[in-house]
Structure 1
Amino acid sequence: MTRSDDVLDELVRVRYPALLARARMLVRDPAAAQDLVQDALVATFVGRARFGSVPAAEQYVRRALATRYVDGLRRGGRERAGAARLAALPVAAAPDPAEASTALADDVERALATLAPRERACVVLRHLEDLSVHETAVLLRLSDGAVKRYTADGVRALQALLGVRAPDPERAGVRVRLVPTEEESRG
């Protein structure tokens, strides 16, 4: 067994639930999420890429999840129609025992499923994968401005669906000053 095989084995054994959770943020259907993880793992480990550690491999697989998701959106015809039908199916009422799901996670998952595909991809990449606007734009083949717009629209929709809003810095007792006041400039 090569070092890369060892990394793959450990990645699947230890990090599969986390990878599946990421995929579930993109596609609602549990079976489609498992397929997405499988596709990302195959795409990552079939090529010449070699990884010296599980975290490095996991980071690559997480990006492959997003890439595979976006590629799936671009496919036309029957595949797109079939994926839309699968995504519209209700999530099973009983939680998967392998998944440590909470009510909040379920609510977020349901809310994400209502977003348009590009909004969902931008929100997941920006806020869950912590990619920059530019990295997200390159990955999704969009302009930086489009990523900002899709992300803002997606976050606004999620806030409305989940009944939350961004904290008001003034109410929280945090004073944000981008430019010093005249008093601060003098003193």
Structure 2
Amino acid sequence: MGSQGDDGGFEEFVAARGPRLLRVAWLLTGDAHLAEDLLQTVLARVWPRWRKIAGDHPEAYIRKALIHTHASWWRRRWRGEVPHGELPETAPPRGAYDAYESVDLEQSLAAAVRALPVRQRAVVVLRYFEDLSVEDTAATLGCAPGTVKSQSAKALRTLRALLPAAMAEGGDCRARS
């Protein structure tokens, strides 16, 4: 066993890649605190095996673990009543600059991505937010490239249906396919 300070580069890896992995976790969960819990859970599970994982694409391994752990959490989560309040909308005068328009568009997109089924959400996060190829996404998810393509097409169709107003206001926000 190594000394307490000998972590095989784990701390350096987490310091360098942690923010990007946290972004993946947030895109999967849609909640900052839940994303932190998800990443912490995965990193705690990876730590004992770090020496084996470190030499063989650790970021891809951890992304895959994030997706699988989130899917298992998602399956167990209660989907009952969710309290929320809706504030009345006030539209700015026509032609006025809305400083919050891009934030609204981002929030609309994030909500639409969270509305996707788990598998489609994972494909969208990996393909369009993490910019992985079809093959890398398929390898991460453990499926065929054709599955990634079909899940991607279904997800983009759903997102376009959920976001027509946001697309009209914010311009062309279609993801590349």
User: Which TM class, normalised by the smaller chain length?
Assistant: 0.5 to 0.7
State the shift of 1:39 in Å.
2.0
Q: 1:13 to 1:70 in 2, by over 3 A?
A: same
Point out the more displaced range, 22-31 or 59-68.
59-68
> What does residue 154 of structure 2 align with?
153
TM-score (norm 2): 0.62
Q: Within the alignment, does 1:81 sit opposite 2:102 as a pair?
A: no
Letter in 1 for 2:121: R
C-alpha distance in structure 1 between counterparts of 2:147 and 2:61, whole Å: 24
Q: 1:64 to 1:85 in 2, by over 3 A?
A: farther
- Asked if 1 retains the 8 angstrom alpha-carbon contact of 2:120 and 2:155, the reply is yes
Point out the more displaced range, 39-48 or 138-147.
138-147
> What does residue 32 of structure 1 align with?
34
Q: 1:132 to 1:71 in 2, by over 3 A?
A: farther
State the shift of 1:26 in Å.
0.6
- Asked if 1 retains the 8 angstrom alpha-carbon contact of 2:61 and 2:140, the reply is no
SS of equivalent residue, structure 1 residue 2: coil
**CA RMSD, aligned part only?**
3.3
State the shift of 1:34 in Å.
1.4
C-alpha distance in structure 1 between counterparts of 2:17 and 2:83, whole Å: 26
Q: Within the alignment, does 1:106 sit opposite 2:86 as a pair?
A: no
C-alpha distance in structure 1 between counterparts of 2:143 and 2:10, whole Å: 31
Q: Percent identity?
A: 34
> What does residue 2 of structure 1 align with?
6
> What does residue 51 of structure 1 align with?
54
Bigger Rg over Cα: 1
Structure 2 spans left out of the alignment, 5+ residues = 85-101
> What does residue 130 of structure 1 align with?
131
Q: Which aligned segments of 4 or more residues in structure 1 are displaced greater than 6 angstroms?
A: none
State the shift of 1:120 in Å.
0.7
C-alpha distance in structure 1 between counterparts of 2:83 and 2:132, whole Å: 30
State the shift of 1:124 in Å.
1.0
SS of equivalent residue, structure 1 residue 49: helix
Count of residue correspondences: 145
Letter in 2 for 1:118: R
TM-score (norm 1): 0.60
Point out the more displaced range, 17-26 or 155-164.
155-164
